[in-house]
Structure 1
Amino acid sequence: MVPLVFWACCNAVLEPITHPLPGNGEHKLLSLRPSSAYAPRMSIPSLRNIPLDTLTFFDATMRQMSFSGAAQELNVSASAVSQRIKSLEQVLGVGLFERLPHGLQPTEAARLYLLEVRPALRRLHAASSRIATRGARRPAGRERRLSIDVLPALASTRMASSLRSFAERFPYVELRMSSSPALSDPERDGFDCCIRYGAGGWPGVDAQLLAEEHALPVCSPGLLRDFGPLDSAAALTRFPLIHDLMPVGWAEWFASVGVSDPPTGGLMFTDSAIALSAAADGLGVVMGRSRLIAADLASGRLVPAWPKELRSPFQYWLVRPRDRADALVDLFVEWLVDEIFI
């Protein structure tokens, strides 16, 4: 009798069907059929076992790269975030993060999962916003109009490039955006809300924290080639420097790296967007604000001149008239966090 042979093909196990031959005890192979006894079994996670808010916890953890950071963003405890991520890993059957002494390291599975999860969450937010916008109760004559005031640098570097996303999220809303360096008062100046950059604590308004910010020296790739390579942060003193009027400037940055009496000359601009444009044109190194330079760093238009970052004492805030409930402004804040301050 021929030995029993199993064939593996296309992830299925096949077993032979044989017929005994007369006289010699041997068998003739007639055909193959799938073997239920040896077929591989895979456990596919059910979507019923993955609550939607768990995916929100995963998205926030990938954005913050820490349980504590995600907890602060979601206004929950760090242990709650840790437990949600652990349960998600158990349902999926894969590890999403390596727990290291100084933070989290996402696995390759987590990075691939994020590519699917984040767009799906954005589509859900967009769909919810479209429905909620239709039903938002607002003062007569302003049901479908959103009037905002934005800082000039933020308007030109981030808001302008995200207007298509706004239109997709709020197809029924007429946006009126003003740009002014002045400290606008939403009640006095007729705005539904304003985006301010400062330390907070303004009287007479409700202020909601949108994002922190860091500053680091950036310049064009060509300038770095011409003056580099750098062997220390102090080497930046021989670069042409560009200044603006932001709270973190060259004096603060050089002090943080132990350089005393740094140079003070160079180009000076009151608008950070213009200062960044001058740096991109190769005119010098500027202290780049993290929320304004993200796109230029991603495209390679600007590069870090030295990797030392300095936390700004100012943050971005959403300011609205005190005690005025506004469903459309609430939805706008969600969009800002998703698109501008991600």
Structure 2
Amino acid sequence: MYGSDRAGDDAERTAFRKTEKKYKLYYENSKSTKKKKQPKQVDLSEVLDFKSISESFNQNGELPPGVVHVNCGFDRPIFGLENRPGFYFIPGALTLDEQCTWIREGLTNFPQPPNRTNHNVIYGPISNLFVAAKEGKVFVEEERSDNGLDSEPTASVSNGDSHRWKFYEEDIARSRGKTCKTVPASVLLRKLRWSTLGLQFDWSNRNYAVSLPHNKIPNALCRLAKRMAEPAMPIGEEFRPEAAIVNYFGSGDTLGGHLDDMEADWSKPIVSMSFGCKAIFLLGGKSRQDEPVAMFLRSGDVVLMAGEARECFH
């Protein structure tokens, strides 16, 4: 799911993959282990910046070639691309308060069971990961019959076999480190890659597993998604979100080009909200051989993909 550096020669790469490599974060080689690695310079001159585009449009009504203004009565400017019908970009759509709220929810509540995360396969469901990381706790694997630790754990989960994992204070975990597997909660938090809301997606079978336990998407998030989806919705219809995925990115992380093609109804848009650091988003065509358009995503930006854009790699 997440990008890797393994690839063949340029001739064997698709246009989408070449562009991914073009904008991926690389570091300069350094012989000194003490010197902080410096990122390699990347030419960003061809990356669309809808924040600047919006500011220029508000001042003089001008737009760069290939970019269009979508006039649909929304309360802020919306832009699209001439060669990607159904693509909508809403720069700065979310207020600072909204951004802070959903960043906090994304770290504290969204990874909570029964929502699944990328950690489920190895560790099972993990409760209160953010709190454990903040408190410097350590995750310890032990046999179910082992009651040898003196301190009451803060959380306990089973990975489905004869072992279970618990959060403990660092000094207690250290005393068992030679006989049990341990991993700091802070490491697990850094390695958190995704969590799912609403209907849970089964990544092994690539479908929505209705039988898996799940909670409904929070009402406040549903209302926000409905409001943001309005410009891309068929007339007279209301957006009703049933499932969502939260992707977490660290510096240099990438998400490989893909299609969101497991939904039964493609007439409704994908609603994507961005929070946190600035990133580069690639919007390709219906084939990986179509060269993608690169654009900056900033915290508070919203992207909608409907119609033909629903079938584009991104």
Above 0.5 in TM-score? no
Higher RCO (C-alpha 8 Å, min separation 6): 2
Q: Which has the higher helix share?
A: 1
